[in-house]
Amino acid sequence: MYPEDRVLVAYVPDPADFAILQQEGWYRIPQQHAPKGLYAEYLAFYFGRRFGLEKWTISYYAPRLGHELVTRTALFPDEPDHPRAQALYYKV
């Protein structure tokens, strides 16, 4: 990483979300909350209150290798009845 690299700070509210990131290698950003254009070279992961001693910290980051726009159902096929099942997300 270089000082001039663009970094997007991504909020990770729950350890289950971080497990998806680690195991499957992707993070989701709701389209309605995403910046106009994903131009960041890196994502830095900000942990929410459910992370115990690591809450409110950025301890991990990763390069952004690409992104695609998908529905939540495509990300979580086992949750077809979720209230936001048809909402659009960037899979990064």
pLDDT per position as a tens digit, 15-62: 999 999 999 999 999 999 998 888 999 999 999 999 999 999 999 999
**Residues 10, 26 contacting (CB under 8 angstroms):** no
Check residue 36 and give its pLDDT.
87
Going by DSSP bridges, is the β-strand pair 7-12/42-47 parallel, antiparallel, or unpaired? parallel
Which sequence spans correspond to the domains of the chain? 7-66
pLDDT at residue 75 tops 90: yes
Average pLDDT over residues 65-72: 96
Check residue 11 and give its pLDDT.
97
pLDDT at residue 65 tops 90: yes
